[in-house]
Amino acid sequence: MITYIFVTEQLQIIMRRDVFQAIADPIRRDIIGLLANDTLTVNAVAENFEISRPAISKHIRILNECGIISIHKKGRERFCQIKPKSLMPVSNWVEQYRQLWEEKLDSFEEYLIKLQSKKKKDE
């Protein structure tokens, strides 16, 4: 019995979602995009997609579990609001590669300029 409880607790720790799991799905990225512009009800979010309402609810639940959105009730409606600071880990991760990408693109641009000038010389 004690082992079973230990295993269950370990599985709960392992199964916690993070912001990277949330943005891995294109539907969730689209939901984040919608909520970046406005606070919307779950139904208003669902109207933007051609998948079932329960599927949208599942995506919203995941975004909420990851802390990317918050959900608050007003009357019978549930409103979803983005929490932009929660996306900072993604921004920080991307930023570390930005300089690498810029260096690679600069290097590629230099290569193309050399090719063009060589081509002009050969003509």
CATH fold, domain 1-82, is Arc Repressor Mutant, subunit A (1.10.10)
Write out the two tokens for 112: 């193309």
Question: Taking Cα atoms as reference points, which of 112, 30, 42 lies closest to residue 76?
Answer: 42
Q: Contact 90/50 with Cβ under 8 angstroms?
A: no
In tens digits, the chain (123 residues) has pLDDT values of: 444 444 554 444 445 678 998 999 999 999 999 999 999 999 999 999 999 999 999 999 999 999 999 999 999 999 999 999 999 999 998 888 888 888 888 888 888 888 888 877 777
Distance of CA 36 to the CA centre of its chain: 12
- Strand runs (DSSP E) across the chain, as ranges? 40-41, 69-74, 77-82
Q: Domain ranges in the chain?
A: 1-82, 87-123
Q: Is the dihedral of CA 100, 103, 109, 112 positive or negative?
A: negative
Structure confidence at residue 68 (pLDDT): 95
Specify the pLDDT at position 16: 62
